[in-house]
């Protein structure tokens, strides 16, 4: 019998009716002769609500306790789904990350999976049960419950599939991976297939349909990931190894990231030691910096800007205090009405002129950009959020996405 890992996201298990529908979908697959491992996220917006509660207690809640709190969301959905299987006459068991043998390391709320001890999962599969595993969570070497970062249930599912050496199916609230988020650009095209590299890049640049680490794991262990809509039977998107049939276009997708906080440190005395001090301080607070820019020196001073996640705004306030103690003349400002748009495509490795094309599209539409960064297969631009829709529409149309 083949093992299949299926993962259902928050919207797909958002109500009791939806949980029942998911159970029926899994049963159909089991009846075709498969052993089923099902990973689920917390119901609907449960994780957001739990985080809001924590923030009412403290603007910067203790991270171990935050993991303890948010991991409860998935425990509700695994229990309810497993109950549904029992109700429909199927043997099933729900397992927390710990019970499923998911071991993690790293910082609380941002852990990575180090290994999975499959003994328990395999034992229950052997007994004919549908095994329902809580996504997003694991256990660290101290025996503490940990979580894998937002969207981490995808990672749980792909990691399990990698260890079980089977296909991973990700079911969600859209029909697959599109060239652009279909909720922002309704004319976006669904992709039949996309390479791991392009999907990783799109995910890391804001295409929330898949979690980046999950795609990385799929790539590393060569696990095909099928993304499709939970309800209905429409054909979705296969994330797999790059092959020549995918080589139709230079640009495969456009991603949008609204989680951008732009920090500008004004009036920094122009010495490389000062710039190093700023980024040392940022590094010590575990802040992941994205884009960096600096103005030309004027009267011996420069302004330094960088972007990070809005989640880091508390730490930024701490950093501002520490920096001002060292360099009293600086002024620090934060801008949050910023969006990052990125064009992604493996074809860009061989083709030049994409950046110029995008600059022209921005110019034709009176859109100012603030920063630009490039990788081998993407170019990203930060712009004012107020220009976002105009920029998405213009780019998607001109680049035929």
In the complex, the residues that contact ligand ASP under the rule CB under 6 A are 9-10, 41-42, 47, 73, 135-136, 150-154
By CB under 6 A, the count of residues binding ligand ADP is 19
Based on the shown chain and the rule CB under 6 A, indicate whether residue 193 belongs to the binding site for ligand ADP: no
Q: Which does 82 bind (CB under 5 to 8 A by kind): ligand ADP, Mg ion, ligand ASP, none?
A: none
63 within 8 A of 106, measured Cβ to Cβ: no
| Per-residue contact string for residues 5-44; x = within reach of Mg ion by CB under 5 A | ----x-----------------------------------
Nearest distance from residue 135's CB to ligand ASP, in Å? 5
Options 3-11, 19-27, 56-64, 105-113: segment touching ligand ADP (CB under 6 A): 3-11
Nearest distance from residue 280's CB to ligand ADP, in Å? 34
> Smaller CB distance to ligand ADP: residue 305 or 382?
382
Q: Which does 201 bind (CB under 5 to 8 A by kind): ligand ASP, ligand ADP, Mg ion, none?
A: none
Restricted to residues 36-55, the positions that interact with ligand ADP (CB under 6 A) are 41
Based on the shown chain and the rule CB under 5 A, indicate whether residue 151 belongs to the binding site for Mg ion: yes
Q: Which does 181 bind (CB under 5 to 8 A by kind): ligand ASP, ligand ADP, Mg ion, none?
A: ligand ADP
> Smaller CB distance to ligand ADP: residue 90 or 178?
178
Based on the shown chain and the rule CB under 6 A, indicate whether residue 198 belongs to the binding site for ligand ADP: no
Q: Which does 11 bind (CB under 5 to 8 A by kind): ligand ASP, ligand ADP, Mg ion, none?
A: ligand ADP
Binding site for ligand ADP (CB under 6 A): 9-12, 41, 151, 172-174, 177-178, 180-183, 207-209, 253
């Amino acid at each position: 019998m083949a093992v299949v890992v299926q993962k259902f996201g928050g919207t797909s298990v958002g109500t009791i009716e939806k949980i029942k529908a998911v159970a029926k979908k899994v049963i159909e697959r089991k009846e075709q002769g498969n052993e089923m491992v099902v990973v689920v996220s917390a119901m609907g917006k449960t994780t957001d609500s739990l985080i809001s509660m924590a923030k009412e207690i403290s603007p910067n809640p203790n991270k171990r306790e935050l993991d303890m709190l948010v991991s409860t969301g998935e425990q509700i959905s695994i229990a309810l789904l497993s109950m549904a299987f029992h109700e429909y006459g199927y043997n099933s068991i729900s397992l927390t990350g710990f019970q499923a043998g998911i071991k993690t390391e790293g910082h609380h709320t941002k852990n990575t999976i180090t290994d999975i001890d499959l003994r328990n999962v395999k034992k229950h599969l052997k007994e004919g049960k549908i095994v329902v595993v809580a996504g997003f969570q694991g256990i660290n070497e101290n025996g503490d419950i940990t979580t894998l970062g937002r969207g981490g249930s995808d990672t749980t599912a792909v990691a399990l599939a990698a260890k079980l050496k089977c296909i991973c199916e990700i079911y969600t609230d859209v029909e697959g991976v599109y060239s652009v988020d279909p909720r922002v650009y309704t004319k976006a095209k669904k992709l039949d297939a996309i390479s791991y590299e392009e999907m990783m890049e799109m995910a890391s640049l804001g295409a929330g349909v898949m979690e980046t680490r999950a795609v990385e794991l799929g790539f590393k262990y060569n696990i095909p990931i099928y993304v499709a809509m939970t309800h209905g039977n429409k054909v979705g998107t296969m994330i797999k190894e790059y092959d020549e049939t995918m080589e139709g276009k230079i640009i495969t997708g456009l991603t949008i990231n609204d989680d951008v906080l732009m920090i500008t440190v004004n009036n920094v005395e122009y010495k490389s030691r000062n710039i190093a001090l700023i980024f040392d301080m940022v590094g010590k607070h575990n802040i992941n910096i994205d884009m960096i820019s600096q103005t030309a020196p004027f009267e011996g001073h420069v302004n330094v800007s960088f972007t990070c996640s809005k989640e880091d705004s508390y730490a930024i306030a701490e950093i501002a205090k520490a920096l001002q103690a060292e360099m009293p003349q600086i002024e620090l400002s934060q801008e949050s009405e910023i969006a990052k748009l990125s064009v992604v495509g493996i074809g860009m490795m061989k083709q030049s002129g994409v950046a110029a094309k995008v600059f022209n599209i921005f110019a034709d539409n009176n859109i100012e950009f603030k920063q630009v960064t490039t990788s081998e297969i993407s170019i990203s631009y930060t712009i004012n959020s107020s220009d976002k829709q105009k920029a998405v529409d213009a780019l998607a149309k001109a680049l035929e996405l």
